[in-house]
Amino acid sequence: MSLFFESLFNGAAIGSVLLIAALGLAVVFGLMGVINLAHGELIMLGAYTTYVVQSLFKLPLLAPLFGAYIFVAVVAAFLVSGLVGLLLERSVIRRLYGRPLETLLATWGVSLILQQFVRTVPLAWSTGLWLAAMVGLAGPPVMNRLWGPRQRPWRLRLGCWVVAVAVGVACAGWIRGAMPKLASASARNVDVTAPRWLRGGLDLGDWTLPIPRLVIIGLTILAVLAVYWFLNRSLWGLRIRAVTQNRAMSDCLGIPTQAVDALTFAVGSGLAGVAGVAVSLLGSVGPNVGGDYIVGCFMVVVLGGVGNLWGAVVASAGIGVLTDVIGAGRLLEIWPRMPAWLQQGVEFFATTSMARVLVFALIVLVLQVRPAGLFPQRGRMAEV
């Protein structure tokens, strides 16, 4: 029984990391049909955002609140990756809807650009650039709502971008002076320092449950519930589902389809940033950290059924449990007297990397029987 619960917890821990990384892709790929190969780099941006936030909380003024930086990092990572995803949708993806091959090539090129950007641009200037983009994009709508469109639109936009550039340069200069580590670029990995309450483990009899894994499981549950509420209980979620099912009819009924596309892509990209926070708690953060999860994300979404949120939950849990059972060699503990030839095969796959290869091979075999996934869409959604 203890072996069962240990495998169940380890599988849940592995599956939660996969699920939170695939959640944003389930929104973008599952609902919009966009093959976004830059999704891994959005996860990477969320991880680097966590590193910048924890560096800010190490300053003397914020040091007493260092234990709470992880909550600020979740919000900041969502905003950073969501903003980058919004810019990607408005500049590249919007012109490529319905053209999957061109979208795949374009997002692959964006992923390479983002990787090189992180390698060459210092984090201080990256932070200033993000703040400038945030102020420049959010300024005109906020000013129009507060004071009304009294000025000409082009003057308003120009003034906001001038202020945005000034804010970005000033912020980058302050970070370079206050945090010298962020002033130099390096392709090597950086380590995120976890708060004290996120270290160690929770002792339950003979078990020790790592606290970071428990936090990631909890964060994944909250993210899934939030996405479910957003898609099924909010007004914009209703609009997203309407546009997904019948774009032409939604446009005739007055639903702003372009705004729905932009919001969907921004939310999916923001969820990738939240996944980056979880990934930063497990190890070092580097330019290639997102590439380790992109294949697994697509496997979770496709195996669960494209566009099915709960299918992604079941698929990630199944992949996590299988990876733990195969990779940790638990089959030898369950069946200690297995034949020698079978034991050699089990020992060969009893590593994390080889277990992942075997699990993906099993997924490919399952997709031969059920090409639409375990829980395919039914009705009008299946016709999209």
Report helix, strand or coil for 32: helix
pLDDT at 141 (0 to 100): 65
What is the CATH architecture assignment of 2-121+185-383? Orthogonal Bundle (1.10)
Dmax (CA) for the chain in angstroms is: 82
CA distance 350 to 85: 38
DSSP alpha helix (H) spans, 234-293: 235-245, 247-252, 257-280
pLDDT at 30 (0 to 100): 72
pLDDT at 156 (0 to 100): 67
For the chain, the distance separating the N- and C-terminal CA atoms, rounded to the nearest angstrom, is 45
pLDDT at 138 (0 to 100): 66
Domain boundaries, the chain: 2-121+185-383
Structure tokens at 207: 């078990």
* Site of tokens 């490529």: 96
Report helix, strand or coil for 145: helix
pLDDT at 150 (0 to 100): 54
pLDDT at 312 (0 to 100): 86
| 166-198 burial: b if 16+ Cβ within 10 Å, else e | ebbeebbeebbeebeebbeeeeeebebebeeee
Measuring CA to CA, which residue among 230, 304, 235 is closest to residue 270? 230
Low-confidence residues of the chain: pLDDT under 50: 1, 185, 379-381, 383-384
Tell me the pLDDT tens digit for each residue of 107-146.
999 898 888 888 877 777 677 777 777 667 666 666 666 6
pLDDT at 384 (0 to 100): 46
Q: At what angle are helices 100-120 and 69-91 packed, to 10 degrees? A: 130
pLDDT at 78 (0 to 100): 92
